[in-house]
Amino acid sequence: MANTETGTGAKGREWDTVSPVVDGEFVYIGGEPHILNYDTNILTLEDNRAPSVGVEANEMPSNLQPVAPLSLSDSELTEEEGDNEEDIELSPDGILDEETIGRGLTNLGKSTDPAHQVYLHVSVTGYNLTDITALSKYIYLQKVELPHNEITDLSPLSSLDYLLILDVSHNKLTKLLDFKPPKNLKDVNMSFNQIEEMSDSSAHHYLMKLNLDNNKISQISGLQSCHRLKYLSLAHNKITKMEGIDNLPLQYLNLCHNQLRMVENLETLQKLGELNLSGNHIRSLKGLEDHSLLEHIDLEGNEVIDITEIRYIKDLGMLRNLNLLRNPIQELPDYRLCILYRIQSLVELDRHRVEVEEKVASVNMFNPPLEVIAARDHIMHVVYNFLQPSRVWDSTLPSVETPYPMLVLVGPQGSGKKDLAMKLVEEFSDYFGYGVSHTTREPMPHEASGKDYHFVTLDKFEMDIKMGQFIQTYECHDNWYGLQMESVESVAREGLACVVHMELEGVLTLKNTYFEPRYVLILPLDKDVQERRLLERGMHKEAQIEHILMKSELYISYNQNHPGFYDMMVNSDDIQEAYRRLRHLVMDYLGIGLSSPPGSEMEGIPDSREPGDATVPSQGTRTWSKPSIPDSSMSQVYQRARTAPSPIMSGRGIVEEASLKRRMSAAKEAVAGYVPPIYEQILTQYPRTAPQSVEGQMGLGDHDNTHRAFSAPVVNKLTTAGSSSSSSSERSESSLSGLSSASDMRQGASPDGSINEAKGLNLLPTDRVNPLELLGGDKGHGQNSHTTYDQPRPPSEPRAGSQGSQRLGSAKHRVLPPISPVL
């Protein structure tokens, strides 16, 4: 095919004898491009030949040296140029003649002498050529393509001093580059020949690309001096060992379909970006490590069987494309996710694009975040529960204003939280009952089934899961733990609030449910103390103890990353002291507290609150919100609260009395059938009972306006029900009645709404700021809450309930400052 443009960009036209031709104009004669010169009018094809016989090409006068590109860029090296698409008759005797060459010449270039133009490329493909001697005269050729012939000798190319690109693939050559080296030979394709041995190629030190595919080479050699060799392909040979390539600047290496058994001698190939080792007998990926630029690895059709081999390539930072098709490793269950989990950088695996979802799925499968574990756990229990006949757990149902009161002691093993929980229940038996978890672990000598845990077999535990009995479960060191609905409900039936203890995973699941407990982190800050405790129990192996101690860090970091996740923290280095603090806290909670002992629960914990923060009371007038006594359905807790002897009622302030009255009145209305609209709303919209999805959970107060609207009508309705003459300030106050803290209740409200201390009551010292109260529903806080809830939140964060925006642990504000290691 004739070019219509010269290298100089001049347009060509078909030649005729009439039109005058301008010097240097480019014309076509019989479809072939020619250029005119002064003397002959036409520069014939022969003008590409050497100017005179006997003059060595490299002795050419400089003015005859071609100026057309002497060096090619990498991209130019791969460019296909001057394809000869004409039908060419086969040479009958295999000898390349002038006419054939003439047909194959393309790409005119200008020499330094403007009078001379030369053809730079020749392509004679599939011509049965055996003798290419005629080519030796075309000394300016830069690109020679002679594929699909029967050439055995390349010596005529010795005079082609400017040769850059040579394609002699599909011939009958037995020797590698057996001709006088041109100055700048860069790209050689000698694939599909009969070369058995790689001779010394050190003279070809400009070689950048060498293709020797489909020969009979059994050993790589002779390339040591090719210091520019970037591309080497030796596919389909008989190579048994990766050698002879040390220190080459190879970026691409193809050794596919050889007889390799291991990856070796690649250490010095630090520029390697693409490696094809497919179709060999490789089992181990050892040797591929430490190649920070390696982007593509093709190992298709090898014998890789062990997934642990991936360790050798998992840290290759640039690895994007991996092919392990037709390896035994493919048979492994979850093979693809397994690879993707280990090599998250992959863009393509086994010739298939990697989707983001696959990567997420792989992480969720092999190292799920705690939130995912919790969400799965929650979903499992909800689903199993749905499959059972429906049952109303009325004792633990949240009331209009408050959830069922529950206290969760959270912490790692060895924190002593179980002892603390049991002691608390023992001392405050009028208020608290111990929610006995189930476990498959063996009881310790001092433990009794039904008291410390329900010790059950794994079969029984699994059966209970399937019967939908659990609220949450958790596996630790091959033991299962779980809290059953019945355990909590049985405590609630007695009219008591429930105390349980659990690990972080359990809390995360619980936060997906409609329960809204208070969470107290029990954490020994002194690792030695915790370790000693664990050792004393004699239940744990060394590795387990190490794991437990490490997990303690997680508790701290979790609090730092999710401010407000816990309502309180107690350092349990000293169990006695920890109990004293916890007890004090609980007494506040119950409203039976004596004045606080010196030092608050958060003593020593740096407080991140801003001095002017409107959500922070300047004085310790409020404390841990007291759970309102549930509930409008006349639960036993409520009954309990109404009976005079109960200490919870003692010291009730005016505000509290009023609040109780209002609630009683609302409850009576409900029972009597005056169902206010809000109850309908609760039944149809109350989102807290619905299982939450892993992501994008919405709670009350989240984006949905119906949720926002939820609290206001409730408040108004209840207020109106209780006291039709309530002022608006009272109504807004009562809207927070569910949030009222014990100390609030013990404070009297003056008619103008100001808070006065009630006489004779033991109040917290006013200079003490209890972090628990920071979300305690202070009257000025409600407005801020929605701003925060408009933000989407991860499932791990506390649910936003109608009161949640003011409740502790709702993560609305930074309730707890980050826990410092020093308490």
Ligand X SMILES: Nc1ncnc2c1ncn2[C@@H]1O[C@H](COP(=O)(O)OP(=O)(O)OP(=O)(O)O)[C@@H](O)[C@H]1O
Comparing CA positions, the residue from 35, 165, 161 lying closest to residue 109 is 35
Instruction: Name the maximum alpha-carbon separation found in the chain.
Output: 129
Q: 84 or 473: whose CB is closer to ligand X?
A: 473
- 741-780 burial string, b = 16+ CB within 10 Å, else e? bbbbbbbbbeeeeebeebeebebbeeebbbbbbbbbbbbe
- How far is the C-alpha of 49 from the C-alpha of 717, rounded, in Å? 106
811 and 817 Cβ atoms separated by less than 8 Å: no
Question: Is residue 179 a contact partner of residue 200, using CB atoms and an 8 Å limit?
Answer: no
> Which structure tokens are listed for 732?
């807004």
Q: Are strands 231-233 and 252-254 parallel, antiparallel or unpaired?
A: parallel
CB of 399 to ligand X, least distance (A): 25
C-alpha to C-alpha distance for 481 and 690, rounded to whole angstroms? 24
Least separation, in Å, of the C-beta of 481 and ligand X? 4
Give 68 or 375: the residue with its C-beta nearer to ligand X: 375
Please identify, using beta-carbon distances, which residue of 258 and 415 lies nearer to ligand X. Answer: 415
- Which CB atom, from 468 or from 722, has the smaller least distance to ligand X? 468
Q: 207 or 525, CB closer to ligand X?
A: 525
Token duo for residue 551: 């997990």
Nearest residue (CB) to ligand X, 318 versus 444 = 444
By CB under 6 A, name the binding residues for ligand X.
Answer: 411, 413-418, 437, 472, 474, 476, 481-483, 501-503, 506
Question: Least distance to ligand X from the beta carbon of 414, Å?
Answer: 5
Choose between 108 and 488: whose C-beta lies nearer to ligand X. Answer: 488
Helix, strand, or coil (residue 625): strand
Q: Which residue, 193 or 473, has its beta carbon nearer to ligand X? A: 473
DSSP tag of 391: -
Instruction: In angstroms, give the least distance from the CB of 325 to ligand X.
Output: 43
For residue 534, the minimal CB distance to ligand X (Å) is: 7
For the bound state, the minimum distance from the C-beta of residue 403 to ligand X, rounded and expressed in Å, comes to 19
Single-letter residue type at 538: G
Tell me the closest approach of the beta carbon of residue 585 to ligand X, in angstroms: 18
Q: Is 677 exposed, middle or buried (0-12, 13-18, 19+ CB in 10 A)?
A: exposed
**Residues ≥6 apart with Cβ < 8 Å to 168:** 144, 146, 147, 149, 151, 154, 188, 189, 190, 193
Which token pair is 452?
Answer: 């410390």
Cβ-closest position to ligand X = 506
Residue 334 Cβ vs ligand X, minimum distance, rounded to whole Å: 27
Name the minimum Å distance from CB 396 to ligand X.
Answer: 16
Query: What are the DSSP calls for 284-305, one per residue?
Result: --TT-TT-TT--EEE-TTS---
Strand 432-434 relative to strand 497-502, pairing: parallel
Residue placing its CB nearer to ligand X in the complex, 424 or 667: 424
Report the residue number, 409 or 698, with the smaller CB distance to ligand X.
Answer: 409
Distance CA 423, CA 432 (A): 11
The minimum distance between CB 410 and ligand X, in angstroms, equals 8
